[in-house]
């Protein structure tokens, strides 16, 4: 029994998948700045911008106008660029990708981008903070989906697979993979998939809690806010523990392409905790247990301070990045696990 392997990675499809990923994270950054600056209603209509077509709005008014308008309209333009790139990814995949399920993933990415844009539009039309919270909570899902598309179209996906035939010289944008049957599949520690799955779920729950804290409802209670904030802090340290456990299991597999992303997650979560403390400080002042820190006495909370806004937005964007990297690791270990299972079944059958 041979491993169920597709032939080759397509360069064009993979490069477009990378571009989609590279556009999604900056879009999350800009969206975070829009929320931090309360600029979500800087443009009161949608899909137009003050009655103009989105792409025909006077650039001087946009670039030289108020900063709120610059961010909100820029957020829409960047979202449109992501949408066009996702359409290009679908077209390229359906023209040259021979795996139907990968074609389905590209369609799912495009659908997610469209839904995300629609949620943002509904938030503007209705002026509803609940939709703003939903819009902020679904953005990391879109990011994770784009990462999945990037991984399954990469050369790494075929790394442990021996080509069954030579590539068709008439097929454009194909890259033959080295014939390397001697490469040994990594041995994953027991529970690696379950640990990373739990890590992803915990990370996303953190993002939802963070969205609730950022989009407070006028009818919300102080007790509800306190409970949400407390759970958010507790899960932050639980997330760090899960990351350490995941890395400790991945580092024994012998494949740096699996263990190094796990090691990077430890640093990202550590940075995220520090950013979370900074976000609390710029919003609510220094907590009592950090009263010894230099500068804590006499600290004044500033509204719409640019540096503070960057710190808060960094906290939001890094949370999405942690989810994306966790998804990156998860898809790769699923690939290795499935190949290990197929290899074991082949040896048993023979």
Give the tokens for residue 221: 């209670």
Integer Cα distance of 228 and 321 in angstroms: 22
Nearest Cα neighbor of 133 from 119, 121, 143, 146 is 119
Give the tokens for residue 142: 């879109």
Integer Cα distance of 247 and 325 in angstroms: 13
pLDDT for the residue numbered 294: 66
**Averaged pLDDT, 1-12:** 56
Q: Which residue has the higher pLDDT, 179 or 85?
A: 85
Mean pLDDT lowest among 100-109, 168-177, 247-256, 279-288 = 168-177
10 DSSP β-pair partners = 174
Look at the block and give the residue holding tokens 């995941």: 246
Q: Which residue has the higher pLDDT, 294 or 115?
A: 115
Whether 304 has a pLDDT exceeding 70, the answer reads no
Give the tokens for residue 110: 């495009």
Sign of CA dihedral 301, 302, 305, 309: positive
- CB-CB contact of 28 with 313 (8 Å): no
Give the helix ranges, DSSP H, for 161-214.
Answer: 192-214
Helix or strand holding residue 319 (H, E) = helix 306-349
Whether 177 has a pLDDT exceeding 70, the answer reads no
**Averaged pLDDT, 332-340:** 85
DSSP letter (8 states) at residue 52: B
pTM: 0.86
Nearest Cα neighbor of 197 from 329, 341, 338, 342 is 329
Integer Cα distance of 61 and 128 in angstroms: 26
Integer Cα distance of 272 and 295 in angstroms: 22
Give the tokens for residue 153: 């179209």
pLDDT for the residue numbered 266: 92
Helix or strand holding residue 257 (H, E) = helix 256-284
pLDDT for the residue numbered 163: 42
Q: What digits encode the pLDDT tens for the residues 50-103?
A: 989 989 999 888 888 888 889 899 999 999 999 999 999 999 999 998 899 999
Sign of CA dihedral 264, 268, 271, 277: negative
Whether 321 has a pLDDT exceeding 90, the answer reads yes
């Amino acid at each position: 029994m041979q491993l169920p392997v597709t032939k080759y990675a397509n360069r064009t499809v993979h490069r477009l998948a990378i571009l989609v990923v590279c556009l999604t994270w900056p879009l999350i950054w800009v969206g975070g700045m829009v929320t931090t600056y309360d600029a979500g209603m800087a443009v009161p209509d949608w899909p137009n911008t003050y009655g103009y077509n989105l792409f025909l709005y006077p650039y001087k008014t946009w670039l030289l106008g108020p900063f709120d308008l610059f961010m909100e309209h820029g957020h829409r333009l960047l979202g449109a660029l992501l949408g066009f790139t996702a359409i290009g990814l679908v077209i390229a995949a359906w023209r040259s990708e021979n795996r139907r399920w990968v074609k389905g993933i590209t369609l799912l990415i495009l659908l997610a981008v469209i839904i995300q844009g629609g949620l943002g539009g509904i938030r503007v039309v209705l002026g509803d903070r609940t939709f703003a919270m939903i819009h902020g909570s679904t953005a990391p899902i879109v990011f994770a989906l784009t990462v999945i598309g990037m991984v399954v179209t990469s050369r790494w996906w075929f790394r442990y697979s021996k080509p069954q035939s030579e590539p068709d010289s008439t097929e454009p944008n194909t890259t033959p993979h080295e014939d390397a049957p001697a490469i040994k599949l990594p041995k994953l520690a027991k529970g690696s998939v379950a640990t990373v799955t739990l890590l992803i779920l915990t990370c996303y729950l953190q993002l939802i809690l963070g969205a609730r804290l950022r989009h407070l409802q006028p009818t919300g209670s102080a007790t509800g806010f306190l409970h949400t904030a407390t759970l958010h802090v507790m899960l932050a340290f639980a997330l760090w523990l899960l990351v350490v456990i995941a890395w400790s299991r991945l580092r024994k597999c012998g494949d740096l392409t699996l263990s190094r992303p796990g090691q990077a997650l430890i640093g990202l979560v550590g940075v995220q905790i520090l950013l979370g403390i900074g976000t609390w400080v710029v919003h609510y002042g220094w907590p009592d247990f950090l009263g010894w820190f230099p500068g804590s006495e006499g600290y004044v909370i500033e509204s719409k301070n640019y540096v503070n806004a960057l710190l808060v937005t960094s906290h939001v964007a890094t949370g999405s990045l942690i989810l994306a990297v966790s998804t990156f690791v998860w898809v790769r270990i699923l690939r290795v696990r499935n190949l290990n299972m197929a290899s074991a079944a082949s040896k048993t059958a023979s």
